[in-house]
Amino acid sequence: MPDWYFLSLAALLLLGTQRFFYKVAAERNCSSPLATAVFMATVTLLSSAAFLLSGDAAGDIPTLLLLATINSAAFALGTVVNMEALRRLPTAITFPLTRLSILLVIGFSILYFGERPGPWQWLGILLGLAVVVVLAGDLGGTAALRQQRGSGLLLVAACVLCGAVASISSKFAAIATSKTAFMALSYLLGTIFSLAMARTWKRGDSAPRTGAVVGIGVLMGLLNFAGFYAFLAALERGPLSLVALITGMHFVIPVALSVLFYREKITPRRWLGIGLTLLAVLAIQR
């Protein structure tokens, strides 16, 4: 098999495992902004070293600063609200729904770049909307649970929006700036934003253990950096559609690990939602 295929699988496993540690951070009552700050600081150090060793030119500085600021703010906030959503919703609901950010990216591509989805892409969009309907119907329970899950869905919606903004800004950055410089600066600013949120984030529960926050954050950073590097290497060697399809299914990893380690139940409706999400990603990438 070609090497890009194995690199894509490596990216899927690494990025999916990183997302699982969002769930670990939520279960261990870690401060979401602080864990995000540690995670981003780790990637900042690694990507800065990669930029210095690469010898790449940074590109247009004002453009780099603007795109890095937008990207880092969206990614930092998206990571925090993702962890907070996992406090309220099961993993099997949260992660498939957050993947719907690709629908906003498609909408932006249609309006800004004038792209027109083909029949398969429209099918993917309809399947993505069906995921929302299917999984939202699995949010029954007592009035207290419904209220908690309502706030969880609002957090998921914020995560979807942040994910779309981060993806779109990354597209512009890939065209106009050095990728390694953009990554280093974006994660540096994301670290600052996360630390600012950590100082102002209101929590009603007990104080988190600093050791657990740092350990989980560093591990997430290592996984993210390695996974992103594998993704770029796969894109360099293989077709974009197939590489993006394989890595785009990384949400299945945290769902499976949550079932294994936290005994989360996957109802038939959730299985259907996961299946529809996979089909939507597959159709959109055709």
CA 21, 26, 31, 32 dihedral sign is positive
**Domains identified in the chain, total number:** 1
pLDDT at position 1 is 60
d(CA 286, CA 284): 6
User: At 177, phi and psi to the nearest 5?
Assistant: -135, 170
Average pLDDT of the segment spanning 8-22: 89
Those residues with Cβ within 8 angstroms of residue 271's Cβ, 6 or more apart along the chain or in another chain: none
Q: What confidence tier does 205 reach under pLDDT thresholds 50, 70, 90?
A: very low
User: At 48, phi and psi to the nearest 5?
Assistant: -65, -40
d(CA 89, CA 91): 6
**In this structure, what token pair is assigned to residue 141?**
């329970």
Q: Which residue has the higher pLDDT, 8 or 144?
A: 8
H-assigned helices in the chain: 3-27, 32-54, 61-86, 91-98, 101-112, 119-136, 143-176, 179-200, 210-237, 240-247, 252-262, 268-284
Average of per-residue pLDDT values in the chain: 80
Residue numbers of the domain that contains 40: 3-284
Q: What confidence tier does 206 reach under pLDDT thresholds 50, 70, 90?
A: very low
Average pLDDT of the segment spanning 236-264: 76
Would you give the DSSP letter of residue 141? S
Q: What confidence tier does 65 reach under pLDDT thresholds 50, 70, 90?
A: very high
d(CA 246, CA 10): 10
pLDDT at position 45 is 94
Does residue 203 have a pLDDT over 90? no
> What secondary structure does DSSP assign to 52-86, as a single string?
HHHT---B-HHHHHHHHHHHHHHHHHHHHHHHHHH
d(CA 269, CA 135): 7
Q: What confidence tier does 201 reach under pLDDT thresholds 50, 70, 90?
A: low
pLDDT at position 47 is 92
pLDDT at position 145 is 52
Those residues with Cβ within 8 angstroms of residue 118's Cβ, 6 or more apart along the chain or in another chain: 286
pLDDT at position 142 is 45
pLDDT at position 136 is 61
Average pLDDT of the segment spanning 59-64: 85
Average pLDDT of the segment spanning 235-259: 75
- On whether the CB atoms of residues 183 and 123 are closer than 8 A, the answer is no
- On whether the CB atoms of residues 9 and 218 are closer than 8 A, the answer is no
pLDDT at position 223 is 95
The model's pLDDT over 146-163, given as tens digits with 9 standing for 90+, comes to 566 677 888 889 999 998
The model's pLDDT over 26-46, given as tens digits with 9 standing for 90+, comes to 888 887 778 888 988 999 999
Answer yes or no: pTM beyond 0.75: no
pLDDT at position 220 is 93
CA distance between the termini of the chain: 21
pLDDT at position 209 is 65
Average pLDDT of the segment spanning 216-231: 89
d(CA 9, CA 227): 10
Does residue 64 have a pLDDT over 80? yes
b/e per residue 170-203 (b: at least 16 CB within 10 A) = beebeeebbbbbbbbbbbbbbbbbbbebbeeeee
Q: Which residue has the higher pLDDT, 196 or 15?
A: 15
The model's pLDDT over 96-130, given as tens digits with 9 standing for 90+, comes to 788 778 778 777 877 887 767 778 777 877 887 78
Angle between helices 252-262 and 91-98 (to 10 degrees): 170
